Structures are given as structure tokens and as C-alpha cells.
Amino acid sequence: MKLRPYQQQALEAVRECYRQGHRSALVVMPTGTGKTVLFAEISRLAKGPVLVVAHRQELVDQARDKIAAWCDDVVAVEMAEQRGLTAPQGRRPKITVASVQTLQRRLTRVPRDAFKIVVIDEAHHGVADSYKALIDHFDAWLLGVTATPDRADRRPLGDVFSSVAFDYDMQHAIQDGWLCPIRSFLVETEADFSGIRKVAGELATGDVERELTKEPHLVEIAKPIVEERGDRPTMVFAASVAHAHALCRVIRDLAGGGPDFAAAVDGASARDYRSETVERFRAGEIQVLVNCSLFTEGFDVPQVSLVAVARPVLSRAFYAQMVGRGTRLAPGKQDLLVLDFVPGNCRHSLVQAVDIFADHDADVVEHARAITQRASLEGNPMLLEEALELARQEIEAGAVDVTYRLRRRDPFAAVGLDVGAMLERPSRRREPATSEQRKYLLRAGIQGEHLAQLSSDQAEELSERLRERKAVGLCSPKQAFELAAYGVDASEMYQDQARELLRYVRQERKSRSDASIRAELRGTGRPAAGP
């Protein structure tokens, strides 16, 4: 077994962080990119005992199994009746996985110097009092791993982790091919959220439940899930336990299926029933799994390709955890479809799928929301990357001189394709580009106003030029455009070369300025024109 390139970079970044004198480090990697594998490798390489701490049984069991397989070693567990660490006269294990609740009660039985490294899984919980007591107890190097470093209560993780050693975001993981693309489909409902109260950073569960368990709202949520599902294994996140079970009932009724079609589970469900239901879902015996906040962390069924967020969410981190249940790659899986349900009357700003790419300008994200909603009304789920790119282009179109923008902001120009000149030539056919042609060219990065002017034969000519480039392995317009910003003409560069160079650029940007990277890269490929 071998680490993926970004996992290796994360490992080296953690080592460098410790070498620089930091006693604690944070690694941010999205769900599905192998955070457990990273700290399994760190455990294997450690020169002393390692402790991994998690807050739920599912996470403890998952960490134990993956670390044991990766390290080919026995991993002790300290949780409830299991005493792999604190058993009387027991031999001190090399690697221990423990639940924070159990370990906190038994800290007096564990020496302060018992571990070389302490790993906090789902480290956004690390500022909680239960974790702080444990962290303060041990004299060890500290490593936190999380997919969502921002918390709903805004408590800063910097209180615990002195340095962010490595940050790999979801958008780059999708672009690099480690996570599947995400399509957004917004459904506007008649639900009235104007009187819903806000409690502890989220909307009041009781208020939301009373509104969403009304039969008309159950139907207007269940119907799109049944219609859009196709053969996609589906996870539904409900607002409450009562909402989950009511929604499951309506989904079964509309689909004409029984318990073998859809099932609802919650925290009060018997553990054996929960485990059995999840295994049946994993095996494809159950098509739709409805839950209430039960599977936002530590749930690993890569086949999931539809996530329905059937509840209002104010926290981007919480929302990203739900979407992350469906971003893993799986054989035959093309993308993840996210269904968002938007109440017709709501005074709160609810998180939507496009918000998980939070590193974009707020105006771009807001405009992308409108674009995805427009596409949804037309019945076309839209790739989030396309929505964000189109939003950026449309905003620039209203703010920047068109000639300047086309010269500086056109990915097609970066590979020598002059779309403007093509549009000036007479077209053989006057029919506009087809929906499929538009989707293909949007993914490739065509300018928004160009797309609106293309005829079907012009679109086909452009598409064929792009397919020819791809057939011989040349880089995409988006890759060439991104590299052009660093003084590199990548128009004749192969795709794998461009990918590696871009990975290097993204890593270097964490510690260096764009100007210094540009100075270094000039001469890589053919020098690009411009400053």
C-alpha cells in the first residue's frame, strides 16, 4: 500500500511543522480523501506509542480496523468495557484507539508520558472541554485531522492547534480526480420558515419539525427524491427523528416500495438494527437511507451518489459533512447529485451545495447560487465547478472591459483557440448550440458570452478541437489558463505534466508569493506573454 501524492505531502508537512518547533499541528482534508490512512502511516512510522482519540463508537471501530490493516499490527481499543490500554498488569500497546468519553474517565490510570503522539480524529471537536482535559493531560506531540475546521459556534481551533500544517480542499480533490464531481439541484418548496427561531447556531429543531412534518411538505420533498434518484443509492438527511420516519413513509408510498426500498434510522435505534440496516444499504438491498444527523461523520459507503439535504442548515461545516457522505469514488459512479430544498419564505440564509467551495469570493458564490437555481428550474442539475466558473465570468462581464477580459481571462485562448475570431466567420448553420454541446464546452471553460453566440456547427468544431487535444494527451484549457498566470505557456504541454506542475504551484502557494513562483517557473514549457 502506498500513500497518494497529497497524503505524502501532508505527512511531510506535519514532520516539517514539528521540526519548526510546533507541538501541535492540524491537517485539513475533505471527507473521502483518506485522513485515517494518513494518521495510520504516522502511527506506523512513530518512534513511540500513539494514541488516536474519537468521539463515537463508529469512528473508533473504523480507525482501529484501518490502522490495523495499514500497519499489519494489533491495535488496542479503550472504550466502554474494552480496556486495551488500562487493563491491570497489561502490556503497553504501540497503538491505541480510544473514545474520548471513556478515556476522560480513566485518565488517572494513564501516565502523562504514555504516548509519543496523540491524534485527534474529527479535530473540530478538539476545543470541547472533554478533549481539552485529555490534551492537557498528555505530554506528547499533538495532531488533529478534520474535513471541516470551521465550527458553528465559531470557537477557534487555534486555541488547541498552533499551526495548520496542510490544507487540501474539496475543489482541488475533485479536480485532481480523488473525489467525484458534484451536481446541484435546488427544489423550492412551499414551507414557511419566516417564524422559525434560531438556537445555538442552527434553526430550532422543534419549529422546523412542526413545519416539515406537514403532509404537503413531506410530499414536496419526497417526490423529487423519488423522481431524481434513478438507480442512485440515496442518503437523506432529515430535520428530526419524527421527520426522518415520516419522510421515509412518504418516500415508500410514492415509490410503491416497502421496508426493502427505504429505511429510517436514528440515534435511538438499537445498535444491532442500525448496523444491519447500514449493511443492507451497503449491499444494495435498501435503496434509500433516511437519518437525522446520525451519519454526518464516520460513515463510509462509497456507492452513495445522491444526497438529499431535506433540512435547513446554517453551518457550512455541518453541511459539508453531509455532502461528504457521497463524494467518494466508486466503480460506475459518475458524480454526486445533491438535492437542496429551499423554503419559499425564509428570513435566514441557509447553506446550499455551492457554499462548500467557500474559498471563492462571496459575490461569486452568491451569483453561482442564482445560476444553479436557474438551471434547476429548467430541470438541469449543474456541476458546481461550472456554476462557479460561469458566475465569475458573468460578474466580470459587468465590471471589466470585454476586450481586456477576453485577452486575460479566456482559457480557450491559453491553448491557441481563438473563439472570438471563429464567431466573426459566417456559420454554415444558424441553429444554436445544443444542450449537450453547451455542457461540454462549459466544462472545458468557455467564456459565458461566447457560449451564448455559438451556432451548433461552431460548437462542434470547437468540441472536435478539444477532443483532438485530449486524444493525444495535451492539457486542458483550464490547466493551461491556470499555468499562464505563472508565466507558463502550456498550450503544448501534456496533461500529466500540467497536473504535476499545478500540484506543485498549489503546494508552494501555502508558503510563497505568486511573484516568486512565477519567477521560478518562467521558462517551464514556453514562456507566456504578459506580466
pLDDT of residue 151: 54
Fold of 182-392: Rossmann fold (3.40.50)
What CATH number belongs to 5-168? 3.40.50.300
pLDDT of residue 401: 39
- Looking at residue 426, the DSSP 8-state letter turns out to be P
Span 136-168, pLDDT tens digits: 999 999 999 988 776 554 455 777 888 889 999
Residue in 173, 514, 493, 119 with CA at minimum distance from that of residue 329? 173
Claim: this prediction has a pTM higher than 0.75: no
Is the pLDDT confidence value at 335 over 80? Answer: yes
Residue 345 CB: number of other CB atoms within 10 A?
A: 12
Percent of the chain topping pLDDT 70: 91
- Reduced to 3 states (helix: H, G, I; strand: E, B; else coil), residue 413 is helix
- Reduced to 3 states (helix: H, G, I; strand: E, B; else coil), residue 130 is helix
Span 436-460, pLDDT tens digits: 888 888 888 887 767 778 888 888 9
pLDDT of residue 358: 63
The lowest-confidence range among 18-22, 138-142, 478-482 is 478-482
Which amino acid would we find at residue 379?
Answer: G
Query: Could you tell me the pLDDT band of residue 396, with boundaries at 50, 70 and 90?
Result: low
Query: Could you tell me the pLDDT band of residue 427, with boundaries at 50, 70 and 90?
Result: low
Q: Which residue has the higher pLDDT, 324 or 129?
A: 324
Query: Could you tell me the pLDDT band of residue 408, with boundaries at 50, 70 and 90?
Result: very low
List the helix and strand counts (H, then E) for the chain.
Answer: 21, 19
pLDDT of residue 386: 85
Span 101-135, pLDDT tens digits: 999 999 999 999 999 999 999 888 887 888 888 99
As annotated, the residues of the chain forming the CATH 3.40.50.300 domain(s) are: 5-168, 182-392
Which residues are CB-neighbours of 137 under 8 A, at least 6 positions away?
Answer: 107, 110, 112
Which amino acid would we find at residue 224?
Answer: P
pLDDT of residue 530: 38
Query: Could you tell me the pLDDT band of residue 407, with boundaries at 50, 70 and 90?
Result: very low
The overall average pLDDT reported for the chain is 85
Centroid of chain to Cα 451: 29
The lowest-confidence range among 198-202, 406-410, 465-469 is 406-410
Span 356-377, pLDDT tens digits: 776 667 778 888 888 888 888 7
Is the pLDDT confidence value at 402 over 70? Answer: no
- Looking at residue 474, the DSSP 8-state letter turns out to be B
C-alpha distances in angstroms, 294 versus 125, 240, 266, 325?
16, 10, 6, 11
pLDDT of residue 78: 92
Q: Which residue has the higher pLDDT, 310 or 128?
A: 310
Contact 310, 245 (CB under 8 A): no
Q: Which residue has the higher pLDDT, 408 or 10?
A: 10
Rg of the chain over all Cα atoms, to the nearest angstrom: 25
Q: Which residue has the higher pLDDT, 232 or 389?
A: 232
